[in-house]
Structure 1
Amino acid sequence: MTVPVSDLPSESISSPAILIVDGNCFLRARFDALTRKAKKGIKPGSVQQLFAGIRMYLENLQDKVGAQKSIMLFDLGHSEYRVRLFPDYKGDRPEKSEELLEFLEAGRIYFKNLVRSDPMRWQEMMFNNMEADDIAAFLVSSFAALPNLRLWLVSSDHDWLQLLEGRRVLQVRYSPGCKSSLVWNEKDADEYFGLPCRQWPKLSAFTGDGSDHIPSTGIWPKTARMWLEQYGYSLESIFKHESEAKARENEVRRNFELTNLNGKIAAEKVAPEEAEYLLAWAEA
């Protein structure tokens, strides 16, 4: 059962711990809220106050969950990997306005400067043509080398739920105004998807994901769930035994690659010395 951050039992707060923050998700939510209020345009001063408010929220969250450090993740452009697989990936979304692009860039600069001023508490990661989701998956995989380190994923993105793992990886899902934040664990994510959360990409491989404009294969969700349970969540076994799935194999494999987060995409961009630095930074 999800609980507000403020109601976390003391045994849930362990040290060491790190926040892994979906920076674009934060900035976009705040931009939308700000533009609704500022009908005559956004004043530069209010933008800086907003960034400072995000920082304050995250520092308070650090204190509440016992985390000493945060890593800010940002999208930079469209996912080159996913667009190559499916050119219409997220194709139903409107182009970002110049005002939004400037706002996102200002936010990245704000947190980059924060890293420079306090590198032991803050880090940031971004790569051209890569989504923050893939960087988060890389960090979850990499930090498994530190089994006593608890990771708090800070995002309202349901894609990140597939990364939750026991007591090691939890998610803080915040409201757009950051006025209330709920903690989700792996069991909560399992209940949300109606199957083990790490198997969700295999379900969406059949059903698609409307939020990212990933099309359905035409196979009913109920049928896909039945197959997954019957064949032990093995896509290969489903293709082998179910002719209807076999006929759509290429679509299913494509959709799985579009929704599955395993960290490999970001791993190709991270130099070995950078990966070693992150582990040392996390342990320090």
Structure 2
Amino acid sequence: MTLVLFDFLNLMHRAYHAYPRTLATKEGEQTNAVYGLSNILLNSIKKLSPTHIIVATETGPSFRHLAFAPYKENRGWRRERPDEAEEFDKQIPRALEVLNALNIPVISAGGYEADDVIGTLCRGSKFKVQSSKLETIVVSSDQDFLQLIDETTKVFRPARPPFIKEKLWDLDQVRETYQIDPINLIDYKALRGDPSDNIPGVQGIGEKAALKLVQEFGSIENIYTRISQIFPISLRKKLAEGAEIAVLSKKLSTIVTDVPISFDLKDCLWGIYNPKKVEKLFLDLEFKSLFSKVPLLSKTSKPPIIPSSLTVSRNTTSDSGQLVLI
């Protein structure tokens, strides 16, 4: 069985900026982000052949903003281009309509980011015990998810032609690329910082020094336990002066895997949807070009395979941190 987890806002932003803003219906409804998301979703489903699907999103500030006020403060797109931000926001309800038509559950948890929801679904012990044979694949362009990769978890980066090719990251590829285990990418990021998220890192330590330290010592904790063994002395001094920031940066960089959410594999089975409902919505959005990619609508696409060992069940609740079928 394969559970595919989609990073909703990441993919929506990717779609919005990949497709022209002029993409709209005859009535003038802008649809570039909705079309792009739908295309990524359907292409990924064809590529990855999931038995289960969940989409993760977020609703407001997370605990990281409380721990470090400048977290992601450097992302000025909304301030600098409010017209684009408004266009983007208006398309979110339509994108959720697409997910609803395909009967794909959307999960969020107050105080946490989508990354944390996905992390919990990938590695949370409560979820893993439901099936030891479950493979999880995260669909996102966010490299932070690489820290979650293990023997049963992979990360799929969708293509963005002509600049970016699709890539499926697994355990061997991470080790080959960075010469460290995926979990230690957290320590690597904590040391060097991350400008995209405004995570400070240790001042004066760049990518090469950070990677070398993690390759030799492993975790942040072990680096500071054995700090007397670190040379040159100038590097040791930088680490000593930045100890508090290093610990904070690791907290900000670590994806939480025990978010208080409830879920059941039966609630995210892929393929339990009304094709007529999808057809009606896609006609309304003028997405005829996507018909061939929707199983049950296309004559060439194979219908989803539903594991015979599972009974179909749908439970809906709106409580924060619960499974939400929007």
> Do residues 173 (structure 1) and 167 (structure 2) align?
no
Deviation of residue 220 (structure 1)?
2.2
Q: Is the 8 A contact 1:29 1:177 kept in 2?
A: no
Matched, 1:144 2:128: yes
Q: CA deviation at 1:90?
A: 0.8
Distance in 1, Cα, partners of 2:35 & 2:210: 45
**8 Å contact 2:199–2:249 — kept in the other structure?**
yes
Structure 2 residue 234 is the aligned partner of structure 1 residue 252: no
Residue 224 of structure 1 is matched in structure 2 by 210
1:60 offset after TM fit, Å? 4.5
Structure 2 residue 18 is the aligned partner of structure 1 residue 33: yes
CA apart distance, 1:187 = 2.0
Q: TM-score, normalised by structure 2?
A: 0.67
Identity of aligned residues (%): 20
Counterpart-to-counterpart distance in 1, 2:115 and 2:223: 28
Secondary structure at 2:11 match in 1: helix
DSSP-derived class of the 1:70 partner: strand
The equivalent of 2:88 in structure 1 is 100
| Structure-2 change in CA distance of 1:157 and 1:100 (3 Å) | same
Q: CA–CA distance in 2 between the matches of 1:147 and 1:279?
A: 15
Change (3 A) 1:52 1:34: closer
**CA deviation after TM superposition for structure 1 residue 103, in Å:** 1.9
Q: 1:164 — aligned with what? A: 149
When residues 209 and 253 of structure 1 are mapped into structure 2, their CA distance, relative to the original with a 3 A threshold, is same
Matches within 5 A, 1:190-205: 190-205=175-190
- TM-score if structure 1 supplies the norm length? 0.76
Distance 1:192 1:262, change over 3 A: farther
**Deviation readout 1:73-93 (Å, 9 max, x if unpaired):** 113223x21111111111111
1:19 touches 1:69 (CA, 8 Å); kept in 2?
A: yes
For residue 216 of structure 1, report the CA deviation from its aligned partner: 3.0
Gaps of 5+ in 2: 228-235, 270-308, 311-326
Looking at structure 2, the residues matched to 57 and 224 of structure 1 have their Cα atoms a distance apart, in angstroms, of 34
Question: Larger C-alpha radius of gyration, 1 or 2?
Answer: 2
| CA apart distance, 1:131 | 1.7
Extract structure 1 runs of 4+ deviating beyond 6 A: none
Structure 1: state its 5+ residue gaps: 1-15, 116-121
User: Relative to 1, partners in 2 of residues 1:280 and 1:100: Cα closer, same or farther, differing over 3 Å?
Assistant: closer
3-state SS, counterpart of residue 252 of structure 2: helix
Distance 1:53 1:246, change over 3 A: closer
Instruction: Say whether the 8 Å CA contact 1:162–1:189 is kept in structure 2.
Output: no
Instruction: Work out the CA distance in 1 between the residues paired with 2:176 and 2:33.
Output: 34
Query: Out of 45, 54, 58, which is 2:41 matched to?
Result: 58
Aligned position for 2:224:
239
- Residue correspondences, number: 250
